[in-house]
Amino acid sequence: MAQPKKVIYTGKTLTTGGREGASKSSDGRLDIKLTSPGSTGEGTNPEQLFAAGWSACFIGAMGIAAAGMKLRLPADTSVNTEVDLLASDGQYSLQARLHVSLPGIDPETAKAITDLAHQTCPYSKATRGNIDVEIVIL
């Protein structure tokens, strides 16, 4: 029998005005203006926020994967995530590319780390089967 899931953390935000509004976290640590992608307005957009969150989470998942292989991630590990907002026949969707840099780690090991991270990262799990995702090891 599976054990019940334990909530580790709950992120809470209040957003008003949609893509031309603002979003603030319940603890006040996040307080940002929002603008539509490609507009000249101040602020960020949901696609940038999603890309930033996924990048951070993916690095954490890679760290766990590397530790399981008795390795440490390089200090200058990075993930450059691109999230595209797509439109087709009046419907919107997303696709993403994660460009992973693991300096000093051989390509075969880097692929093993990213493959495992993509299986365990909560963002990767949430998008699996829902959007096209490409992982590129630099």
What single-letter DSSP state applies at residue 18? Answer: G
Coil, strand or helix at 25: strand
pLDDT per position as a tens digit, 35-67 = 998 888 889 999 999 999 999 999 999 999 999
pLDDT at 40: 87
- Token pair in block for residue 100: 């992973």
Q: Please name the residues in contact with 54: beta carbons below 8 A apart, sequence gap of 6 or more.
A: 79, 81, 83, 96, 98, 121, 123, 124
Distance of alpha carbon 134 from alpha carbon 96, whole angstroms: 6
pLDDT at 50: 97
pLDDT per position as a tens digit, 76-105 = 999 999 999 999 999 999 999 999 999 999
Domains of the chain: 1-44 (2.20.25.10), 46-137 (3.30.300.20)
pLDDT at 109: 98
Phi, psi of 53 (to 5 degrees): -65, -45
Q: What is the pTM of this model?
A: 0.93
